[in-house]
Amino acid sequence: GAGVSQSPSNKVTEKGKDVELRCDPISGHTALYWYRQRLGQGLEFLIYFQGNSAPDKSGLPSDRFSAERTGESVSTLTIQRTQQEDSAVYLCASSFRQPNYGYTFGSGTRLTVV
């Protein structure tokens, strides 16, 4: 596609429920990244995919968080047993191989845990 697409754009969920966030990167971009941005704060790196593998998962906050990528395209970020502190905007970005010229970000999914 023309840009990085994320869905849903907004998600309100009850504490304890599981959520899945989806990212469609730009076609041909082999690298994909997930970030989290809490209100008024900077970016927090979560995970990096190169193709279908994730060489760096160091930013995932806990084992409630997981991500996968299939077919070098779509990625899904799953948060199990959501907590209120998970409330944030979850941003996905992609780049052609490594981000020498900067990422292209999606508009994010705003997750609110009530």
Partner 1 sequence: DAKTTQPPSMDCAEGRAANLPCNHSTISGNEYVYWYRQIHSQGPQYIIHGLKNNETNEMASLIITEDRKSSTLILPHATLRDTAVYYCIVRVQDDYKLSFGAGTTVTVRA
Q: Please give the backbone phi and psi of residue 84, each rounded to the nearest 5 degrees, phi first.
A: -60, -30
Q: How far is the CB of 45 from partner 1 (least distance, A)?
A: 5
Q: How far is the CB of 81 from partner 1 (least distance, A)?
A: 27
| Nearer to partner 1 (CB atom), residue 45 or residue 78 | 45
| Nearer to partner 1 (CB atom), residue 11 or residue 99 | 99
By CB under 8 A, name the binding residues for partner 1. Answer: 4, 31, 33, 35, 42-43, 45, 48, 56, 59, 91, 93, 95, 98-108
- Coil vs helix vs strand at 24: strand
Question: What residues have CB less than 8 Å from 42, skipping those under 6 apart?
Answer: none
| Nearer to partner 1 (CB atom), residue 14 or residue 53 | 53
| Nearer to partner 1 (CB atom), residue 33 or residue 65 | 33
Q: How far is the CB of 15 from partner 1 (least distance, A)?
A: 24
Question: What residues have CB less than 8 Å from 90, skipping those under 6 apart?
Answer: 6, 21, 34, 35, 36, 37, 46, 77, 108, 109, 111
Tokens encoding 44: 């927090």
